[in-house]
Each structure stands twice: as structure tokens, then as C-alpha cells.
Amino acid sequence: MTDYAMQQFFISYAGVDRDWAEWVSWHLEQAGHRVTLDVWDWRTGDDFVQHMDQALNRADAVVALFSRSYFDLERWTQEEWTATIARRERIIPLALEPIATADVPPLLAAKLRKDLHGLDEQAAVAALREAVNGGIRPVTSPLFPGASPPTGVAEVANNTKPRLPSSTGQPEVWNVRRRNPDFSGREAEINQLRDGLLSGQQAVIRALHGMGGIGKTQIALEYAHRFASQYDLVWWIDAEQADQVPVHYIELAERLGIAKPEAGSEHNARALLQHLRAQERWLIILDNAENPDQIDSWLPEGSGHILITSRNPDWRGIAHQTGLDVFGRSDSVSYLRTQIPSITPEEADLLAGDVGDLPLALAQAAGVIGSGMTISRYRQLLTTNTARILKEGDAPGYPASLAATVGIATTGLENKHSDAAALLRLGAFFGPDPIPTSWLEGVRPQLATIPGDPGDLMWPHAALQPLSRFGLARIDHETFQIHRLTQAVLRDQTNSEEAARIRSDVATILSSTDPGAPETPDTWPAWASLASHLTAEHVILAERPDLRPTLLKAALFFIRSGQPRSAHSLTASVRNVWASELGQDHPDTLNLMQYFGHATADVGDIAGALPLVQDTFARRRRILGDDHPDTLQAANDLAATKSRLGKTAEVRQMYEETLRRRGNVLGDDHPHTLQSAQNLAIALNHSQEYEEARRLLEDTLWRRRNILGDDHPDTLETAHGLAMTVYELGERNEAHRMVEDTLRRRRNTLGDDHPSTLQSAHGLATILRALDQRDESRRMIEDTLRRRRNILGDDHPDTLESAHSLAVFSRDLGRFDEARRMIEDTLGRRRNVLGDDHPSTLRAAGMLANVLRDLGQSDEGRRLHEDTLRRQRNILGDDHPDTLRSAHGLAITLYKLRRYPEAAKLVEEVRNRHRRTLGDDHANTLAATESLAAIWTAMGKRFAAQRLLASQRKKAKRGVNRKKK
């Protein structure tokens, strides 16, 4: 194949058509073209989107390999689809199989495509040449490309070029069972396997290992069918009984005609191995090989490929190993939606989580549900009758049900390794997440269910290896993990007396584990590991006295690490047990109730939190006295809860009293005292006492930095509060600098999704909008809203604050209908969650009134403004920023209604209050001045309006000069 001009091509294809992609790419490069093929040119971990964009920008054309799989929308990434369609004028479509025009998207259907299917190799090469060159024929006879591709071209073993893929048959020597039509996902694993098998010049041995039901055999089967055309011989061997492998070799020798009946079985098996050494393009698959030592001497040598599937991960020194994990969630959902068309994405996601994304379990679930059982019933049975339901369901391609697979492996383990079997049952009563082996090392003498010598220095490490070999656990150098369904089957098979003993051992292990102070971010990874087992559904720990301190610390960890739902779930599950066993006045019960109230408020149920916090405060005050640190913590929590409910008038006095008492009892620099100082400063902000709030926050920040460090969460809380106070004082550029620094530190310390990080992101977006950087501000608000919805839920007050801000942006852009829909939704949710008179609810009402005015519904807007303003004056006072904002909005609405005298009187009052509380040069004062001038102008008072604006400019200039000095 000789072409006239070198071109750069990008190959676009479905994963199942990789053999075609390799063949097309090889021939294009043989012709002197340059080709980008992802599996040749991109490495694992590379940025897919960046590579895609670069490759398509460089390409002269996209060679698109059309097949039915190519047009399966489930396989496309949005980036690839968009990029390919965007370059549709430069697409060269090649059809790999007959495709109906109706199956091709309209944007590509009009393209003339060249058929490669049904052709022999010479004709296919000619068709490829014509597709690339537009039918122009070379002046000399095309040359066969030869045996040595250029450097960098992907090669099959022994430097031979890829064969023309065939859709019509298999190699002449072939004993592989039929393809599984339900095979789904695993594209990355098959690509990794293909790359590994192409990596060497001599026989390449790859071992796929993983637990039973993970899909090892299914991947090997799919690989054999997908790349069948690249081999002359593919032979499948059931290798579970290692001594039977030579028998299978004899069958292959007979098939090849090289067996000699008189020579004996050993000779014929060895003759087969010798024959393969001289051959190319062969694939031997050893399925379920569990004993590497017995298999090693029967592995062929030569230029072919050997693929081993095994539960045993220890193939070191024999094969390159690939550990298989469960499906990714997207593959699980895709599989379920294909097998159960009626299932919704949400139901599929929940069911996939229930079965731990295990392929065999997914197949069984699809079989049972497909036979008529409802999804909810199946999910219920997974919890109540795990072992029994996991015996049911047809799973084509798998030799046994999951329950049977676990049972067979467990029986084999118990017969050979009783200590490992005991460790397996112990692990079944933990949560499904990895279990650190360090937890077990120091507690062996205290465990009642582990046989053998309590002083065994090699426990648990020696017992872990058999678990790995039998495919019952995943082992690494620090943890072991048992799949959740394996755990459930084992628990179902354990009698109640033994289960009680095992649960006691689990509690002993967990109570002996202490990651450190749960308030410190450095300990959070270790706490996350421990908490995942403390909160697992089947782990029953509330009645264990030795676990109370650990459970309390876990609750505090969830609160401080920004996981309010987990904190609420944990404390809610324990409180009734502790209250009943210990009494409501017990210190542990009161500590738990403190965290329960805190978590209830954090999940957004502030009204529900108030009676809990009030009760805890009253009990501590009665039992411990007014000045006990625990009482003062409860007093602080009560004030904070009332502040969230908008009760600003009484909150300030509560914070002042708590601060005074904490200072006397604990000292000015104690973290609890500084917590009260921080909260009092926020209360001062709510009362518009910004200068006093600033002084208090600056002092608190200085003390927290000295005591806790610059990046402690408490220090960053104060830094954020100070930045937003500076913003309220009109120093926008300084506030921008401060909140940017705080956001960066919070991201580094707490993570992108922590509620405190999102608080700073929201604050920065607010400041950017004020600085007229609206595009960046809107992007941040959209991102913050999405994250808050995911973490906190749609109705959380923080989420609704972001939704409110996004509605403001829509209004800024003139999208008034969109803004109305958004703010009406936010207002309705705030009324349900916070009540009609909460400050946030009233802000949303004022915003809706403004939007109604924008839409020309000024009368309706006026009525809503008047109601909102009346409520705000009663609750917040005449000088509160929200009250003045509503009054200003009402004045503009009155102006729109040509009720000029009323509008002028109202906005003049607003201006005077802003001047008194904020000063002449504050943005709010300037805005009120401009509105008053506009109203006066409409009333015919042009000269008065001009004098007003001129006077305001002079005052603002003097204010700027004072700041410079």
C-alpha cells in the first residue's frame, strides 16, 4: 500500500473492535502515514480529555470504524462524541459489519462509508487505500508491506503484523465455548491484557487473579473471541485439577495430528509442548489454575500467548500478574439496565451497591428480578436471607451461584487451614471496607474465637495467605478485605452463639484502636477507616461499654470532618440504647446527645435540633453547674442553634455571657474561649457592628494562629469570618485576597467538598460578583451548589444559599423567567425548612419581589415587598442590612409604579441609615444615593439630584483619601 502524501490520522473505534483498529493503524503506518491510536500512544493515568483534544487538533482526518458497538451511546464519552462530531467534515468511515442507515446518528448517516467486512486481506487493504486516497490509484503496482513494521508500530508476537480481523469464524484449531452475549464492561482490563500479551518476543504468560465471581473466566472468554482472528490456535483448558492438564495437551496433540498412540501420554504431552515452541500465533488458556507449582512445568514456551485465570494471586516468577477488582459503578449500572430494561438508574445504583458491584452477583440479581421478583423485594432479601437468595438466579457463563462458590472455597479453607478459616469468620463481622492488619497484631491474646497459640508472633499474617489463595479476601501489605456478600453468606452460616462470641472479639479489636484526636485533620484518614467499621449496618456495638469512648470520638470525627449525615446516623442509632441502659443524665449519654443535636442542625433540621440542644443544656446546668466546661459547651451550642434559626436579638447576650464565663474558667487562650469569641464576632456582624466584629476577629485569629497554627480548621474559620467582615466594611480587594488564601488553605487541609471549604468558595464567589468578575463568580456558585446538593441535600440551608445566589445571577443576565422559577423554588424550600420569618426566607421573598417587578408585575412585587419589609423590621430591626435592602427594593418598585413621593421618602430613609451605620463611601450608601437622585429627577428636581450626586462624589473621594493615608 503506497500513498501519495503523508497524513495524520486519529482512529476512533469501539473497544470490542480493537483488533480492527490495530489492523487499520498498522497498514496506515506501513504506508508512511502517522497514526494516533489510544492503546498504542496513551498510557494509563494520562489525561484522556487532553490527549483527545490534542490528537484531534493534529489529525488531518478521523478514521471512524463503524460497527453496531460503535453507535452504542453507552460507550461514548461526551468528550469523544463531541470532538468527533465537531470534526465530521474530516471523517473517513469504514464499516466493519453490515449496518442499517437507521442505526447511524443523523450527523454521520450522510457520510459515504467504505465496507471492509466480507473482504479478504488484499481486497480490504485496497479498500482502505481507496478510502484514504479518495480512489486515486498509484502509478506503480502496490507492494505487499512485508514482515517488519516500522519502529513504534504495535506488533503481535514474533514481529508479525496484525491480521485482517474476521467476523465469520475462528482458528481451525479451537475448542472455546460460545461467547457470552451478556458480557459487559471490562474494556480497560481487556486492553491491559492485550497490551501485556503483545509485550514480549517469547511466550508471554499473563495471570488474571481475583475472588470467585469476579469475572476472570468471562474476561478470558471475551478475549479469546474478540482476538480469535489473530491466532492460528486457541485452546481452552480447565486447569483446576492440575494433574489433568497433560490430558488436555494430549487432546490438542491429537487435534493437530502429532500424537503417537504407541508413545504414551507423557510423551505426547511433551511433544505438544515441543511443537508449540516452533509455532507462532497460538493462545493457551488455563482456566481456574490454583496451584502455580504444579502448573509451572506444563507451561509452553515459544512465540505464543498463555492466559491463566486463578483465585490464587501468587504467580510470581511464573507469570505477569493482573489483579481483578469488582466492576466500577458505571459498568454495574450499565449491565443492570441492559439486563433489566425497566430498572431506573437510581434503582440500579442502589442494587449495585447492595451486591458490592460483583459481576456474578449482578448476573444472579438480573436472573431473579428478570423472573418476576421486584427490585425492592430482592434488596430486602439480600439483607434478611443473604445466603439463600444468593443460591438463586441464572448466571450464564458462571459455573455456580455465589453462595455455592463461597461455600466450596470456605470448605476447602477449613479442611486445610483452620486458623485462616477462623480469621475469615472474624472478618465477616467487620464492615466491608479494608481491615488494617495492625488492628489485629496486639490483641491476639484477648480474642476468644481464634484457635492456636495466643503468643504466635506470625499471626495474623500467616493466616492471611490462605485467604488470598482461596480467593476469599484481597490482601495487601497493610490490610485485608472480604467482599460484602462473602461476609453476608458467612454470617448467615454462623449460629447465634458463635456470632455473639465473634462480635465480642470485633468489639475488642475496635475498642483497642485509637487514631488520635478526632478534631485534627491529620488523624482523619485513620478515623475514616475505623468509623467505616463502627457504622457498618450489621456491626452491633451500642451495648458494648468498652466502645462508648470510641463511638463518641467517631461522632466528633464525623462532625469535624464535614460528614453531618454520618454523624447524625451514628448518634441516632446509639442514643436510645444509651439512654435506656445508662439513663439520660449519664455523662456518656449527655455527650452523645450534644453530638446528636449538633449533627441534627448540621444536616439542616435546625428546628429539630433546638429541643435536643435545650434539653442537654438544662441537664448539664442542673447536674454540673453554670460554669462547668461541659455546661458552657452546651450553652455555646444552644446559642449557635438559635443563631441558625435567625434569633439574632437574644443570641448576642448568650454569646457574651458564655465568653465571659469561659474566659474566667478556662482562660482567654483556651480553644473553647476562642470558639465563643469567634461566635460573638459573627453575632456582632449580624447586628451590623462590623468594626467591633473586626477587632474581635483579628484578636481571635492572632491567638488561634499562635496556639493552633495557620492551617487548623478553627484558625481558618476565624480567617474566613474576618475576610467576610472586611467585605461588609466595603474593602472588597482586601477581602478578596483574604478569602482566596483561606479557600486555598481549606482545600489543602479539609478537601474540596468539606462544608467549610464550600463556605469559603461561596464567599469568594460573592466577592467576585461585587468586583464585577461575574463569569468566574457564576462558575464558582454553580460548582458550589452542585457539591452542596451532593453532600448536604437539596433542602439544606447552605445549599439553598447557593441556589439563591445562582438565581441572582440569572436575574443579572436578564433571564427573569428563569430567575423567578429558581427563587420561587428556593423560597418554598426555605419556608418549609426554616419558617416564614427566618432571615434567609425573607431574603428570598425580597428577591422574588424584585424579579416580579422586572417581569412587569410591579403591583404583585409591591405587596410581597411590603409584607417582607414588615416582617424584617419586626424581627431584625430597622437598621439591619436585609431590612434596608428590602426597603430599597420597595422604593424602586414604587418608582416603577410612578409613586414618586413615597419612593423618595423611603429611599431617603434608607440612605440616611446607611450613612449612619456604614459611612458615605460604602457601596450600599452610594447605591441608595443614585436611586434617590433618579427619583428626584423623575419628580422634576434635576438640580437637587445633581447637587446630591456631586456632594456624594466629594464625600466618597475624601473617604478614599483617608484610607490611603
Contact 890, 865 (CB under 8 A): yes
The pLDDT value recorded for residue 260 is 84
**Rounded to the nearest 10 degrees, how much is the dihedral formed by the CA atoms of 470, 474, 479, 484?**
-100
Of 817 and 537, more confident: 817
Closest by CA position to 736, among listed 713, 760, 712, 756: 760
Highest mean pLDDT among 152-166, 238-252, 292-306, 514-528: 514-528
Contact 660, 652 (CB under 8 A): no
Per-residue pLDDT band at 271 (split at 50, 70, 90) = confident
List Cα–Cα distances, 930 to 587, 770, 851, 935, in angstroms: 59, 17, 20, 9
Contact 429, 488 (CB under 8 A): no
List Cα–Cα distances, 643 to 316, 661, 681, 883, 920, in angstroms: 63, 20, 12, 17, 30
Please determine, for residue 75, whether its predicted confidence score (pLDDT) is greater than 70: no
What is the Cα–Cα distance from 1 to 142, expressed in whole angstroms?
5
Please determine, for residue 113, whether its predicted confidence score (pLDDT) is greater than 80: no
The pLDDT value recorded for residue 797 is 93
The pLDDT value recorded for residue 737 is 96
Three-state secondary structure call for residue 309: strand
Q: For the purposes of burial, counting CB atoms within 10 Å of the CB of 746, is it exposed (0-12), middle (13-18) or buried (19 or more)?
A: buried
What is the Cα–Cα distance from 914 to 921, expressed in whole angstroms?
10
Contact 903, 885 (CB under 8 A): no
Kindly give the residue spans of alpha helices, DSSP state H, lying in 751-815: 755-770, 774-792, 797-812
Contact 655, 678 (CB under 8 A): no
The pLDDT value recorded for residue 294 is 86
Of 684 and 111, more confident: 684
**Lowest-pLDDT range, 200-214, 729-743, 828-842?**
200-214
Contact 820, 848 (CB under 8 A): yes
Please determine, for residue 451, whether its predicted confidence score (pLDDT) is greater than 90: no
Residue 503: its H or E element: helix 496-511
The pLDDT value recorded for residue 142 is 46
Summarize pLDDT for 585-609 with one digit per residue, the tens: 999 999 999 999 999 999 989 999 9
Highest mean pLDDT among 177-191, 210-224, 398-412: 210-224
Of 963 and 857, more confident: 857
Per-residue pLDDT band at 190 (split at 50, 70, 90) = confident
The pLDDT value recorded for residue 232 is 87
What is the Cα–Cα distance from 343 to 351, expressed in whole angstroms?
10
**Lowest-pLDDT range, 326-340, 396-410, 513-527?**
396-410
Closest by CA position to 27, among listed 164, 231, 168: 164
The pLDDT value recorded for residue 860 is 92
The pLDDT value recorded for residue 611 is 96
**Lowest-pLDDT range, 277-281, 392-396, 474-478, 684-688?**
392-396
Closest by CA position to 212, among listed 314, 287, 293: 287
What is the Cα–Cα distance from 434 to 532, expressed in whole angstroms?
9
The pLDDT value recorded for residue 807 is 94
Three-state secondary structure call for residue 458: coil
Per-residue pLDDT band at 6 (split at 50, 70, 90) = confident
What is the Cα–Cα distance from 383 to 385, expressed in whole angstroms?
6
Which residue in this structure is represented by grid cell 499562635? 706
Q: Calculate the average pLDDT of the chain.
A: 84
Please determine, for residue 156, whether its predicted confidence score (pLDDT) is greater than 50: no
Summarize pLDDT for 473-513 with one digit per residue, the tens: 888 888 999 988 889 889 888 898 999 999 999 999 999 99
Residues 375-394, mean pLDDT to the nearest whole number: 84
Per-residue pLDDT band at 51 (split at 50, 70, 90) = low
Percent of the chain with pLDDT over 90: 39
Per-residue pLDDT band at 38 (split at 50, 70, 90) = low
Q: Give the phi and the psi of residue 307 in degrees, each rounded to 5.
A: -120, 125
Which residue in this structure is represented by grid cell 498504542? 40
Summarize pLDDT for 749-807 with one digit per residue, the tens: 999 999 999 999 999 999 999 999 989 999 999 999 999 999 999 999 999 999 999 99
Please determine, for residue 104, whether its predicted confidence score (pLDDT) is greater than 80: no
- CA angle centred on 604, ends 602 and 607, rounded to 5°: 105
What is the Cα–Cα distance from 411 to 872, expressed in whole angstroms?
72
Q: ω before 460 within 30° of 0 (cis)?
A: yes
Per-residue pLDDT band at 108 (split at 50, 70, 90) = low
Beta-carbon contacts of 672 under 8 Å, excluding residues fewer than 6 positions away, are 629, 632, 633, 636, 662, 666
Residue 347: count other Cβ atoms within 10 Å of its Cβ. Answer: 18
Residues 23-28, mean pLDDT to the nearest whole number: 83
List Cα–Cα distances, 415 to 210, 314, 431, 873, in angstroms: 21, 21, 26, 79
Closest by CA position to 288, among listed 357, 242, 219: 242
Which residue in this structure is represented by grid cell 457601596? 923
Closest by CA position to 239, among listed 178, 293, 285, 174: 285
